[in-house]
Amino acid sequence: MDRDRIVGFGLLIGSLAIIIVYAYLVFFTEKIWEFVIKLTGFAAVAGFFGLLAWIGYVLATTPPPKPIEEIEKEIEEELKKLEQEIKHENQATGEEESREK
């Protein structure tokens, strides 16, 4: 069996076990269920706002992309350089051909 399938089955079995234990703690215990519900609510809220905080941090610290105009100018400059190089190569090969004749 390959590693991915083993990990997949492990996640499946682990998740089902956690669901069963969670259901037991919430519905069939008298003193623990309230704490489990509070812990679940806190984890959900903390996870959501933690993710939101991380997204905000990434947005605040990532430099903005270059404007399209600047990228277009760079591309045009590169194209001009390539055209000049091709022209010089053609001139050089043309001179060689005229020498051979």
The confidence score (pLDDT) of residue 100 equals 59
- Please identify every stretch of the chain with a pLDDT value under 70, giving residue numbers as ranges: 94-101
pTM: 0.54
Pair 45, 53: CB distance under 8 Å:
no
pLDDT at 66: 82
Distance CA 15, CA 13 (A): 5
Please check whether residue 33 is in contact with residue 27, taking contact to mean a CB–CB distance below 8 angstroms. Answer: yes
Q: Give the CA distances from residue 100 to residues 92, 93, 95, 96, in Å, rounded to whole numbers and listed in that order.
A: 13, 11, 9, 6
